[in-house]
Amino acid sequence: MATRLFISIIILQSRAASRCSAEIPAVVRKTPRPGRAARASGVPHLSRRIARCIECDAAHGSFQRDDVQMKTCMCERQHDLRRIVLTGGPGAGKTAVLELVRQEFCAHVKVLPEAAGIVFGGGFPRVLEREGRCAAQRAIYYVQRELERMSDAANAAIVLCDRGTVDGAAYWPGPDDFWAGLGTTRHREMSRYHAVIHLRTPPLGAGYNNGNPLRTETAEAAAEIDAALLKIWEDHPRRCIVPPSSDFLEKATRTIEILRHEMPDCCKGGKS
């Protein structure tokens, strides 16, 4: 199964590379492209891990598994916690990147589960009417806040959030103010996060996977959500945008490099 999936990845990448590359959206901060030598040595390594991620997604519908053990770290110092959000529209590759983070970084990087997955996976009804959608976003917001509150007690260098409390505004229906209904403000919620990494959603025909039975959004709807998230987070002073790419290995590598830059020096060399 894993071998077949790995071959499929290579075929899809070859087809995507043969097409004319789509226009890359403007970015707030240009993330560095990995050097040729680094990519040459890292591609097989990441390819195997991405193949495993896709296999687990097909089998379980989620990458958030309990059998992934973060690498140990010799560092015992007290860290200054940095809360970082990984956001992006449907199909951006966010979940696969989070699985790679679990396998690449030491235990001082704490990866939080997605609040929406907890809410809906726990049986919260998916109601399409406005009141039901508003209720779901309120529930997701409070679950996210409590997940972050619990993580503050751990001696983590980075708490990586699978979306942040700000994301809910992109899914909020109707004209009512998302922030007022929760008794908070956009500025207050954004200030909770040290940095934001936004993975852009690829368009249909350039990497967007609308064949995933767990993904209900069309390519057009996914693009609208991605644009809304881009607008909502635009005022954050430390936002990195990773543009869509026909080569997901490149996209994942650039995201990992951003996170590695945020790690304290004491944890960069203490993994085993």
pTM for this structure? 0.74
Return d(Cα 95, Cα 86) in angstroms, integer: 9
Q: How far apart are CA 84 and CA 195, in angstroms?
A: 5
178 close to 168: Cβ distance less than 8 angstroms: yes
Residue 114 has what pLDDT? Answer: 94
Which of these, 267, 258, 269, lies nearest to 100 by C-alpha position? 258
Return d(Cα 122, Cα 89) in angstroms, integer: 23
Count structural domains, the chain.
1
Backbone angles phi, psi at 84, to 5 degrees: -120, 140
Q: Which among 153, 150, 148 is positioned nearest to 166, based on CA atoms?
A: 148
Do 129 and 149 meet the contact criterion of CB atoms below 8 Å apart?
Answer: no
Question: What does the pLDDT read at residue 210?
Answer: 55
Predicted pLDDT at 267: 75
H or E element at residue 85: strand 82-88
User: Do 246 and 206 form a contact (C-beta atoms < 8 A)?
Assistant: yes
Distance from C-alpha of 199 to C-alpha of 225, rounded to nearest angstrom = 12
What pLDDT, on the 0 to 100 scale, is given for residue 44?
52
In the prediction, which pLDDT does 27 show? 37
The predicted-structure confidence for 135-180, as pLDDT tens digits, reads as follows 999 999 999 999 999 988 777 889 999 999 999 999 999 777 899 9
What are the pLDDT tens digits along the chain (272 aa)? 443 343 234 334 433 433 322 332 333 344 444 444 444 444 455 555 555 554 444 444 444 444 456 677 767 777 889 999 999 998 888 988 998 898 888 888 999 999 999 999 999 999 989 999 999 999 999 999 999 999 887 778 899 999 999 999 999 997 778 999 899 999 999 999 999 999 999 876 555 555 555 566 788 888 999 999 999 999 999 999 999 888 888 889 999 999 999 988 877 754 44
Residue 50 is predicted with a pLDDT of 55
Report the amino acid identity of residue 46.
L
Q: Looking at residue 212, what is its pLDDT?
A: 54
Can you give the residue range of the structural domain that contains 91? 2-268
Task: Return the structure tokens found at 7.
Answer: 């071959």
Give the pLDDT of residue 76: 73
Residue 207: what pLDDT?
55
**Interatomic CA distance for residues 183 and 150, integer angstroms:** 21
Read off the CATH number of the domain in which 57 is found. 3.40.50.300
